[in-house]
Amino acid sequence: MPTYHPQLTADGQLKHLLSIDGLSRAHIERLLEAADPFVSVGDREVKKVPLLRGKSVFNLFFENSTRTRTTFEIAAKRLSADVINLNIGASSTAKGESLLDTLANLVAMNADMFVVRHSESGAPFLIAQHAKSGVAVINAGDGRHAHPTQALLDMYTIRHYKKSFHNLSVAIVGDILHSRVARSGIHALTTLGCPDVRVIGPKTLIPTDVHRMGVSVHHDMARGLEGCDVVMMLRLQNERMNGALLPSAHEFFKSYGLTAQKLARAKPNAIVMHPGPMNRGVEIDSPIADGQQSVILPQVTFGIAVRMAVMASVVGA
């Protein structure tokens, strides 16, 4: 991963969105504010604004994710962009063309934006470095590294329900080790001035140096949730569940699944978040997922607005 931040112009404007790491508080706040009007676009009769009319947006999904691709496709279409979905894995690479040649070709087709999902950490950075001036790159999830639009929609959701970050306690629960959602979320929370970020999970799923990111570590979930305002559950990926890192889905639920009993340790008005897709009965109990404190579906709604705001920002619309 590069240490410089190629997502900003020389005068500090956002030209790509590659990671939350490297964005200032002002950058994040501007993006959240920019999302506000797009939330109301989703409620209109005609859910469309002409900000990206005549722009060509390419969804470059090297890793399959129908859900994330759909959110970006909807966001781009509501901005009136032309959207081209490319399943890159299945195409040019089969003909032996390099990734960079494929990209150079798409740029030559006068692309305006690449939305990139890749299983390798750093791939969107590489793409941004090689995309010529005027082409914006949005990271839609790269390996274990970052998922900045997820972090932004999480922040939007928290801000919506809690108004301010300066006195919040936020707990992030589950597989911190493999989660780009957790990494990006921690960066966003600390940048926005959240004073108390806690990560909760088994030792095997928490990076040993995570405290350097300014968070406290808990292995006992009930204690970790004590008095918190926000509970961010992470998805436990299926491939972990059968692996050596965990005893079983059932055991995981007992220790780190969010139940009414454990949630009772948080503040009474604490909100419950999950990036989806949920494993009900593994990381979250169904009554909680569907309960009064759950804001999991509003996260999805805000996610469209936040992605519209990011897309509009990086093309300067």
Residues 75-94: x/- map of binding to a copy of itself (CB under 8 A)? --xx---x-x-xx--xxx--
46 binds a copy of itself (CB under 8 A): yes
User: Which of 66, 208, 261, 292 is the binder for a copy of itself (CB under 8 A)?
Assistant: 66
Which helix (H) or strand (E) is 172 found in, with range?
strand 169-173
Closer by beta carbon to a copy of itself, 174 or else 224: 174
d(Cα 250, Cα 231) in Å, to the nearest integer?
21
d(Cα 160, Cα 149) in Å, to the nearest integer?
16
Closer by beta carbon to a copy of itself, 21 or else 73: 73
Cβ-contact 136, 315 below 8 angstroms:
yes
Taking the chain, what is the end-to-end CA distance rounded to the nearest angstrom?
Answer: 29
Closest to 233 in 3D by CA, of 293, 187, 168: 293
User: Shortest Cβ distance from residue 137 to a copy of itself (Å)?
Assistant: 18
User: Which of 13, 119, 164, 238 is the binder for a copy of itself (CB under 8 A)?
Assistant: 238
User: Shortest Cβ distance from residue 5 to a copy of itself (Å)?
Assistant: 27
Closest to 56 in 3D by CA, of 8, 102, 114: 114
Residues 273-312: x/- map of binding to a copy of itself (CB under 8 A)? ---xxxxx----------------xx-xx-xx--------
120 binds a copy of itself (CB under 8 A): no
Cβ-contact 276, 300 below 8 angstroms:
yes
User: Shortest Cβ distance from residue 242 to a copy of itself (Å)?
Assistant: 12
Size of site (CB under 8 A) for a copy of itself? 52
Cβ-contact 129, 6 below 8 angstroms:
yes
User: Which of 19, 71, 150, 157 is the binder for a copy of itself (CB under 8 A)?
Assistant: 71
| Cβ neighbours of 30 (radius 10 Å) | 16
SS3 content of the chain, % helix, strand, coil (to 5): 40, 15, 40
Which neighbouring-strand residues pair with 116? 60, 139
User: Shortest Cβ distance from residue 251 to a copy of itself (Å)?
Assistant: 17
Please give the residue ranges that form the binding site for a copy of itself (CB under 8 A). 42-48, 53-56, 64, 66-67, 70-71, 73-74, 77-78, 82, 84, 86-87, 90-92, 95-98, 101-102, 104-110, 238, 276-280, 297-298, 300-301, 303-304
